[in-house]
Amino acid sequence: MTLVAAGIVPHPPIIIPEIGKGELEKVQNTVGALRRFARETAEAAPETTLIITPHGPVGREAPVILSAEELQGDFSRFFAPGVRLTAKNDLPLLKAIEGESEGQGIGVTFQGEGGGRLDHGVTVPLYYLQEAGLGSSVVPIAFSLQPNRELFRFGRIISRAAESLGRRIAVVASGDLSHRLTRGAPAGYHPRGKEFDEKLVEYIRQYQVEEILSMDDELVADAGECGLRSIAVLLGALEGKEVEAEVLSYEGPFGVGYMVARFALRQ
C-alpha cells in the first residue's frame, strides 16, 4: 500500500504555541487531536507527505504545486519569526503527477518561483508533523477553484502517481470549516455556518463521499469555509481503498470551525 496515512486538519496560527500562548487553552481539544494525528502519521513512516492548502497560489483552472527543491516557511506574519520550518520537495513524484495528469486530461501547474515559500495552510500542520518526528519529503499543493468532482479526480491522480513510483505517501487536507459561526467571527456571522459544519462533520464521520462532493453550493457559500476543496482532493486519493473514518475533534471557540479527522487505511 502506498497511501499509508490521511487526514483533515485545521490551520489557525493561534494553535502554534509560540503564537497562541495563553489562548491555547481555548483550543486544547484541537491541539490534542492534531498531536495524535501527527504522531500516528509519523509512525506510519511515509516517504512523502502531500499537504493540500487553500492559502497557496490557488489557480482557477488547475491545482498549483510548488516545485522548488528546498521548501521553507516561518510565522513572521504572526509575530513569531523564530519559528521556522524546512523540508525537501519530492521532485520525482511531481514528475509522476504531471505524467498521470496528462494521461487523464487533467491540468496541473507547477510553480518554482518564490524560493519554495510555504503558506500557513502548510506550515501549521507541518509544525505538528515535524514535532512528532516526521522526516518525510513534503509536496505543497494549492487546490484550484474547479468543481469538487474535478478536484476529486485530481486526488485520484495523486494516488496513481505514488503507486507508479511505489512511494509511501501521506495526504493531509488542510482547511478550516465555517468562518461564520458566531457574531464577531472573522467573516461575520451567518446562521447557516453551524449547519454546514454539523453536516460536514457527520458526513466525514460516516465517510459519505457522495454527500460531501454534492453539498449545496449556497450552503457552502453561506458558511464561508476554506476546507471543502482540500477535502475533495483527499477523498479522491482515498478512492478504492478500505477506509475507516474517525473525527478526532471539532470545536469553534473563535467563530471558526476546527475539525481534526483521520482515515485509517485497512491493509
Assess if residue 217 is contained within a domain: no
Assess if residue 72 is contained within a domain: yes
In sequence order, the 6+-apart residues with CB closer than 8 A to the CB of 77 are: 13, 120
Assess if residue 203 is contained within a domain: no
Dump pLDDT digits (tens) for 40-75.
999 999 999 999 999 999 988 999 999 999 999 999
Assess if residue 190 is contained within a domain: no
Assess if residue 259 is contained within a domain: yes
Q: Which residues of 18-33 are buried (b: 16+ CB within 10 A; e: fewer)?
A: ebbeeeeeebeebbeb
The CA distance from 121 to 75, in Å, is 11
Assess if residue 191 is contained within a domain: no
Question: In this structure, what C-alpha cell is assigned to residue 244?
Answer: 475507516
Assess if residue 198 is contained within a domain: no
The CA distance from 85 to 19, in Å, is 15
Look at the chain and report how many structural domains it folds into. 1
The CA distance from 131 to 237, in Å, is 25
Dump pLDDT digits (tens) for 5-36.
999 999 999 999 999 999 999 999 999 999 99
pLDDT of 266: 81
Does residue 116 contact residue 164 with C-beta atoms inside 8 Å? no
Polymer length of the chain: 267
Q: What is the CATH number of the domain that holds 160?
A: 3.40.830.10
The CA distance from 267 to 265, in Å, is 6
Work out the number of other CB atoms within 10 angstroms of the CB of residue 230.
28
The CA distance from 161 to 202, in Å, is 30
Residue-level pLDDT, tens digit, the chain, 267 residues: 799 999 999 999 999 999 999 999 999 999 999 999 999 999 999 999 999 999 999 988 999 999 999 999 999 999 999 999 999 999 999 999 999 999 999 999 999 866 689 999 999 999 999 999 999 999 999 999 999 999 999 999 999 999 999 999 999 999 999 999 999 898 999 999 999 999 999 999 999 999 999 999 999 999 999 999 999 999 999 999 999 999 999 999 999 999 999 999 986
Q: Coil, strand or helix: which one is 7?
A: strand
Q: Position of cell 501547474?
A: 109
Query: Which residues on adjacent β-strands are paired with residue 140?
Result: 51
DSSP for 219-245 reads HHHHHT-S-HHHHHHHHHHHTTS-EEE
Compute the half-sphere exposure of residue 113: CA atoms within 13 Å on the CB side of its CA: 2
- The domain in which residue 253 lies consists of 3-178+225-265
The CA distance from 180 to 21, in Å, is 24
Assess if residue 187 is contained within a domain: no
Does residue 213 contact residue 148 with C-beta atoms inside 8 Å? yes
In sequence order, the 6+-apart residues with CB closer than 8 A to the CB of 72 are: 84, 85, 86, 87, 115, 116, 117, 118
Whole-number CA gyration radius for the chain = 17
Helix residue spans in the chain (DSSP H) = 17-20, 28-43, 91-104, 120-131, 148-165, 192-206, 209-213, 217-223, 228-238
